[in-house]
Amino acid sequence: MALSQVNILIVDDRPENRLAMVSILQGDRYTAVTASTGEEALRKLLQDDYALILMDIQMPGMNGFETVEIIKSRERSKHIPVIFVTALSQAEAHMLRGYEVGGIDFIFKPFDPKVLQLKVEHFVSMYKYRVELEQQKELTSWRTAELEAANKRLLASSRRLMRAEAMARAIGDTSIDTFFTLSEEGVILAANPASIRMFGYGLDESKGMHVSSLLSDFGHTWGGPLASGRVLSGHVSAAAEVVGIRKDGMSFPADLQLGLAFVEDRPVYVCAVRDSTERKQSFARLELAVDQRTRDLKEANARLQLSYDRINDILESITDAFYALDNEWNIIYLNASAEAQLGVSRDRALGRSLWEFIPKEESVGYEIMKESIRRGEALRREVYSHLIDKWVEVRVYPGSRGVNMYVQDMTERRRMLQKVRNSHEKFYKIFQASPSLMALISLRNYGYLDVNESWRQHTGYALEEMVASPQELQLTTEGGAEIELSSDCSLNRGLSNVKVQYRSRTGEVRTGLLSTETIDTPEEPCLLVVIIDITGRVQLEQEMGRLDRLHLIGEMAAGIAHEIRNPMTTVRGFLQLMGKRRQLPSDAVLEVMIQELDRANDIISEFLALAKNKTTDREACRLNDVIEAIYPLIQAEATLGGKEVQLELSDGPELRLDQKEIRQMILNLALNGLEAMEPGGRLQLITSLGADGEVVLEVADQGHGMDKEVVAKIGTPFFTTKEQGTGLGLAVCFSIAARHQAKISWQTSPKGTTFQIRFGRADDPAPDSGME
């Protein structure tokens, strides 16, 4: 029997493509059925037979290759020919993939409609021819079997009938399917034991029942209810799906098959019923599995796409030029940097040989890639490219399907390295030529890395000796603390002009200013040690100090001799007169002699007040109380000269003071200020708090100020501008201030002079002995 029409399945995710192919294949010989996804195609293949499948490759979810793999794995659909219809690359690897999964041909978009019609017509003809051959084969087999059966029936009809009856009974009794023997009206004449398990009715109960009471859809299956008439005669060998009803009212899906037999020339119908619950569940599980597999494939595809996007972003963000080549040197990918380096767009370069854009003989990467592929390992070379006139680093990574190459511009890096080398050379020259002692110490193992010539000259130690015994310098501070440069001590870093003493190889103790600085070299972090040798300067300063002290002693001796000689001369003259006259002097003369002796005693007392080791008797008190105690004396002296004294005292903390010495210092400064002013002038005594908590005393006059020559000699013993002055007043003030850790400063101008004395807080540390 010739087929009038056959089905062709068209699978494509784009509606316009499906519509175009359906329009091309319209005709009476075949029916075009469409599906938009691989999953829909699989479901349609479970429902109908198809002569040919036209399969798109690039689809959402399962692509064409994955769909064909599943089609070819099914027994029912594995023989259906598949033609891939695609717009993808015609690369050999791509086509091999299609043939491996079971495709028999490719049609590439855009295609010629005539070619599509001819190919489809060819495969449809082959399908019809195969179907006709199978029908003829079945017909021949059926006729052969019929002839053989007739021959056997003629030879042993009775024996075969008996055996058939026995076998039928055995099959019916042991089968898990239910068999009903029905009259043409559908009444149950007999049933096998399986009906008891399936429907719950005994054999005698089911006998005489109408089959529609057990199979609810039985009547509708055959086109109407089984009320009367011979309705089964036209449905022999038909199969259908029905719903079975058990005795307890429960229903279940079932498959129904109807057959015909004749007993004594009377037709008897055999109805086979199989519970299809398990088959339905298996089908549902299969559907779920297909759906789950579809979701998994979609998720995997999304992850792959995300991974691809990330890799693409990374490749596009790097400044290196990246090339991906296949085994034929064709470009399959290049990033933006490679586009700029190559001078062509990506669309133009993809699929074409790299050597179309770069001559092999001018490429720095060709030989490197060949060697990398030959050795089967990654290679890295830094070479000069005459093509782009730059130094580049080429990194090649071979693979089974091609090779990847990175090209990095090294020109700037090489320039920076050269600058670093030049900088190192300059540093080393400065290091070696410096007159200061210089050494480099590693911060990893704290060993000496290098010392300069000045270090060797001053210490007598060469680099080899410093490496072997770095502690030989014996560095110590003025306070006696040892400094070990070759140890992990953070206190040794960041030093600046710390005065130290070190011992040379000959045992000579020398003095220097130590500075250290941490520096980073390309090899390792280091500590730069610089010692400025000041031994000669210290010796010179000591000699100058000794000479200054001798000069000061001479000046002081001359001053003392001059000041004491005057009263002594006066007393000596009066004593000589007394010796000549042999009589006591008058009271006036005695008074003069006593005054001269008191004057000499005052000079000696003030001179002793300059002593640095004078004992002080300090106790906590307020500076304002001391000032207020001596204010009447100062006010009386000012009144006698027609001058004014003004107090501006601010509250302040207690200080540790020797009140007697502080009164003497304030009186000296106040009397000097009063003597420097004309009548009508005003002297101010002001106390205040400084920004750092110091107590500040200011003594300000309105005199004519001090000349530069006077300012240069302030505090020098025995220097005075007064006719009757001793020149020790300010020197005593400076000595008292030093014993109280106070500082004296001054400001002078033609409008007057102001002396400032800054006292530390009472909680500041002071010597325990009270000696200064």
Task: Using only the alpha carbons of the chain, give its radius of gyration.
Answer: 61
Q: What is the pLDDT of residue 698?
A: 92
Between 232 and 184, the more confident residue is 184
Residues 420 and 331 in one domain: no
Does 298 have pLDDT greater than 60?
yes
| 490/525 same-domain check | yes
Structural domain containing residue 249: 175-275
User: Domain check: are 447 and 494 in the same one?
Assistant: yes
Look at 513-527, 531-545, 711-725 and tell me which has the smallest mean pLDDT. 711-725
In a domain, 512, yes or no: yes
Confidence band of 161 (pLDDT split at 50, 70, 90)? low
pLDDT of the residue at 766: 45
Q: What is the mean pLDDT of residues 444-452?
A: 82
The DSSP-derived string for 701-768 is --S----HHHHHTTT-TT--SSSS--S-HHHHHHHHHHHTT-EEEEEEETTEEEEEEEEPPTTS---T
Q: Has residue 431 got a pLDDT over 60?
A: yes
d(CA 714, CA 718): 10
Distance of alpha carbon 756 from the chain centroid:
59
Position 572 pLDDT exceeds 60? yes
Query: What distance in Å separates the CA atoms of residue 36 and residue 10, rounded to the nearest whole number?
Result: 8
- Range with the lowest mean pLDDT among 303-312, 654-663, 756-765? 756-765
Q: What tokens were used for 249?
A: 């009212």
pLDDT band at 546 (very low <50, low <70, confident <90, very high): low
Pairing mode, if any, of strands 239-245 and 695-700?
unpaired
- Residue 397 pLDDT: 92
pLDDT at residue 744 in the model: 87
Helices H / strands E in the chain, number of each = 21, 29
> Does any domain span residue 725?
yes
CATH code: domain of residue 702: 3.30.565.10
Q: Give DSSP secondary structure letters for 102-156.
A: T--EEEESS--HHHHHHHHHHHHHHHHHHHHHHHHHHHHHHHHHHHHHHHHHHHH
More confident residue, 595 or 768: 595
The overall average pLDDT reported for the chain is 79
The pLDDT assigned to 558 comes to 59
Give yes or no: residues 744 and 647 share one domain.
yes
Confidence of residue 768 (pLDDT cuts 50, 70, 90): very low
Question: Could you tell me the two tokens for 710?
Answer: 């006077």
Query: 233 pLDDT exceeds 70?
Result: no
pLDDT at residue 632 in the model:
84
Band of the pLDDT at 78, cuts 50, 70, 90? confident
Of the residues 249, 275, 301, the one at which a domain ends? 275
Residue 700: band (very low, low, confident or very high) from pLDDT cuts 50, 70, 90: very high
Domain boundary among 507, 533, 559: 533
For residue 168, being part of any structural domain is answered with no
The number of C-alpha atoms within 13 Å of 199 and in the hemisphere containing its C-beta is: 29
CA angle at residue 347 from 343 to 351, to 5 degrees? 100
Whether 303 is covered by a domain: the verdict is no
- Indicate whether 299 pLDDT > 60: yes
pLDDT of residue 701: 92
Per-residue pLDDT at 591 exceeds 80: no
The pLDDT-based confidence of 224 (bands split at 50, 70, 90) is very low
Per residue in 241-258, pLDDT tens?
888 889 888 888 888 888
CATH number at residue 480: 3.30.450.20
- Find the mean pLDDT for residues 217-229: 51
Q: Is 89 in the same domain as 26?
A: yes
* 329-333, 541-545, 705-709 — most confident range: 329-333
Same domain, 400 and 436: no
Higher pLDDT, residue 216 or 406: 406
Same domain, 254 and 343: no
pLDDT 10s digits, 170-184: 666 667 788 888 887
Pairing between β-strand 239-245 and β-strand 448-451 as defined by DSSP bridges? unpaired
Q: Are 576 and 619 in a shared domain?
A: no
Q: Would you say 443 and 428 are in contact if contact means Cβ atoms under 8 Å apart?
A: no
**Residue 471, C-beta contacts closer than 8 angstroms, at least 6 positions apart:** 484, 486
pLDDT in tens, 24-66: 887 777 788 899 898 988 888 888 888 889 888 888 888 888 8
Cα 393 to Cα 415: distance, rounded to the nearest angstrom: 14
Burial class (CB in 10 A: 0-12, 13-18, 19+), 623: buried
Residue 479 within any structural domain of the chain = yes
- Whether the pLDDT of residue 275 is over 80: the answer is yes
Direct distance between the N- and C-terminal alpha carbons of the chain, in angstroms, rounded to an integer: 137
Number of domains in the chain: 6
Domain for residue 281, yes or no? no
Query: What local confidence, expressed as pLDDT, does residue 761 receive?
Result: 65
Stretch among 126-140, 189-203, 472-486 having the lowest mean pLDDT: 472-486
Cα–Cα distance measured from residue 119 to residue 449, given in angstroms and rounded to the nearest whole number: 85
- SS3 breakdown of the chain: % helix, strand, coil, rounded to 5? 45, 25, 30
Distance CA 179, CA 7 (A): 36
| Same domain (yes/no): 635, 707 | yes
Question: What is the per-residue pLDDT across 488-508, written as a single tens digit (0 to 9) for each?
Answer: 555 556 788 888 888 887 778
556, 717 in Cβ contact below 8 A?
yes
Last residue of a domain, one of 533, 559, 593: 533
Higher pLDDT: 319 or 719? It is 319
Does some domain include residue 696? yes
Statement to judge: residues 622 and 644 lie in one domain: yes
Same domain, 395 and 483: no
Here the CATH number for the domain that contains residue 106 is: 3.40.50.2300
Tell me, what's the pLDDT at 118?
83
> Which of these ranges, 170-174, 184-188, 341-345, has the smallest mean pLDDT?
170-174
461 and 586 assigned to the same domain: no
- For residue 129, being part of any structural domain is answered with yes
Q: Is 352 helix (H, G, I), strand (E, B) or coil?
A: coil
Residue 668, pLDDT > 80, answer yes
With tokens 């014996």, the residue in question is 474
Confidence of residue 767 (pLDDT cuts 50, 70, 90): very low
Q: Are 393 and 408 in contact (CB under 8 A)?
A: yes
* pLDDT above 70 (res 347): yes
- Give the CATH number for residue 603: 1.10.287.130
Interval 634-659 mean pLDDT: 87
Compute the average pLDDT of residues 151-164: 61
Rounded to 10°, the helix 38-47/64-73 angle is 30
Kindly report which listed range (353-362, 370-379, 406-415, 488-497) carries the lowest average pLDDT score: 488-497
Model pLDDT for residues 92-143, shown as the tens digit of each residue = 777 888 888 888 888 888 888 888 888 888 888 888 888 788 878 888 888 7
Burial (Cβ within 10 Å: 0-12, 13-18, ≥19) of residue 172: buried
Give the pTM. Answer: 0.33
For residue 188, pLDDT over 80 is answered with: yes
Count of residues in the chain: 772
